[in-house]
Amino acid sequence: MNPFVPPRREREAGFTLIELMISLALFALIAVAGLGLVDSIIGVQTRTATRLDALAAVQRGAFVFSSDVEQIARGRVVSDGSELVFTRVAPGFGGPPVELRYTLADGALVRRLGGAAQQVIPDVRALRFRFAQGGNWAGAWPLDAEAAEDWPDAIEMQADIEGRGVLRRVVALPAGAVGGP
């Protein structure tokens, strides 16, 4: 026996080729499952972000509408139920009152100030305005020619938004005109 040659074992220590292939296959399955999970999480995150963006747009639009109506100025409120026209205090200080018009155009709630149109809420299928007066609701305003300068107690906007349902916003009007003599 040669002292420099290690003794031969009957069975060498280590992994066989089949054992290595099985372990690689198991790691590959775990990696594929992990990638599927990550892809699923990214998909959920993308859909959630899209829905949150759409909800934020609706909330901004409802805020703009409420803010405009709350700043109503002396003048007429006119509506046939599908469009609303009124005068509000000018943005900023000291400006003259401006006429605002809310209407449905190209599938969106549109706010018109002078000649400029601003899309307030996208994907609107239907739009309706109603007016509270003395505990009753009316689909148009003014109720008659004699009350042309009167204001309703409240204005309700209902916007049927694609895939979201109906947004209903009721804004109470002040008892008297804001601004102007």
In the 3-class helix/strand/coil scheme, how is 18-34 assigned residue by residue? HHHHHHHHHHHHHHHHH
The β-bridge relationship of strands 124-133 and 116-122 is unpaired
Residue 181 pLDDT: 39
In Å, what is the CA distance from 130 to each residue of 24, 62, 80, 163, 170?
69, 16, 9, 23, 9
Dihedrals φ, ψ of 58, to 5°?
-65, -45
Read off the pLDDT of residues 30-87 as tens digits, 9 standing for 90 and up.
999 999 999 999 999 999 998 899 899 999 999 999 999 998 888 889 999 999 999 9
Q: Sheet containing 78-79: which strands, arranged edge to edge?
A: 78-79, 84-88, 98-105, 108-113, 116-122
Write the CB contacts of 144 (distance below 8 Å, at least 6 apart in sequence): none
Does residue 161 surpass a pLDDT of 60? yes
Angle among Cα 70, 59, 100 to the nearest 5 degrees reads 40
Read off the pLDDT of residues 41-57 as tens digits, 9 standing for 90 and up.
999 999 999 889 989 99
Calpha distance 27→24 (Å, rounded)? 5
Residue 56 pLDDT: 92
